[in-house]
Amino acid sequence: MQIAELEHRTGVNRHTLRYYEKAGLLQEVVRRGNNYRDYPEKAVERVAMVRQLKALGFSLREIREVLDALRSDSIDCEQGAALMAEKKAAVDDKIRELKQVSQMLGAEQQRLEASAAALREAGRCKE
Amino acid sequence: MQIAELEHRTGVNRHTLRYYEKAGLLQEVVRRGNNYRDYPEKAVERVAMVRQLKALGFSLREIREVLDALRSDSIDCEQGAALMAEKKAAVDDKIRELKQVSQMLGAEQQRLEASAAALREAGRCKE
DNA sequence: CTAAAGGGTAGAGTATGCTCTAAGGTCAAC
DNA sequence: GTTGACCTTAGAGCATACTCTACCCTTTAG
């Protein structure tokens, strides 16, 4: 497919798609005779994955490392497995920390709700 | 305490500390007669929190919103509670997505480990 | 054949979040 | 009173990740 279709199907700006390609995130792009890019179906999924990982706080560099290992045709298996383990550990750490933040936010929410209820007729917050 | 001590105790560059203050992340800083900043003990904890949230993928803008609500002396209680609920929901979404990523990485790790084991004497990966 | 739509590259511009430099004021010790 | 270690501000510089502009080529429809 051409870049306009990939842009439309992923919602990602064509300039950004070319930028991702330069950054090594989309390696399966071929050129046709007219020098136009020709993306395979898989590219839609791959771009979606890049965007998801990005939203979760990974840098493009980290995303490329993971994608490279997932392709796993140039890298050594044990090395790839180790990288996956390392990235998984980082993700699991992040999950643990986020759970703490979630708990903290929940507690704060309840505190504020209690204050709000207690002051429902008194007026403003600030006990 | 002076900026050097806060810098030392948090490990955060003094330029960054001043940058955070300008960005509204440290509002409890007072000035002494000589115009030097005077940070309260609490600042150490607050800076740590900023760094933690940052590492988890929050922008400084988002962090400020949460910290502002936590201070909760200018904001309405119900409004604050709603903001907390909203941020908590976002964090919980992030946790769910990260769990999926963790699972995916774990599966890939196992696949690569299996390949590595199968080929322990055959030589390189790439079945 | 030509106009419009789509593609290509190079490179400039923007936002965020630092990080550092320059120029200068303050303070404690000698 | 001067040295050196501290502090101040303003603003430059840098990395990342886009986002857009300028300019030119290709394809398709009339």
| Residue of B48, B43, B14 whose CA lies nearest to B29 | B43
- The pLDDT profile of chain B, 127 residues, written as one tens digit per residue, is 999 999 999 999 999 999 999 999 999 999 999 999 999 999 999 999 999 999 888 899 999 998 888 876 556 778 888 888 988 998 999 999 999 999 998 998 898 888 888 876 665 554 4
Q: Which of A53, A67, A105 to mutate to test the interface with B (most CBs of B within 10 A)?
A: A105
pLDDT tens per residue, range A106-119: 998 898 888 888 87
- Given this model, what pLDDT does residue B121 score? 63
Q: What is the mean pLDDT of residues A66-91?
A: 81
CA B53 – CA B87 distance, rounded (Å): 12
Q: CB burial class (10 A; 0-12, 13-18, 19+) of residue B45? A: exposed
Q: Tell me if B77 and A53 make a contact (CB, 8 A cut-off).
A: no
pTM (2 d.p.): 0.81
Q: Tell me if B112 and A78 make a contact (CB, 8 A cut-off).
A: yes
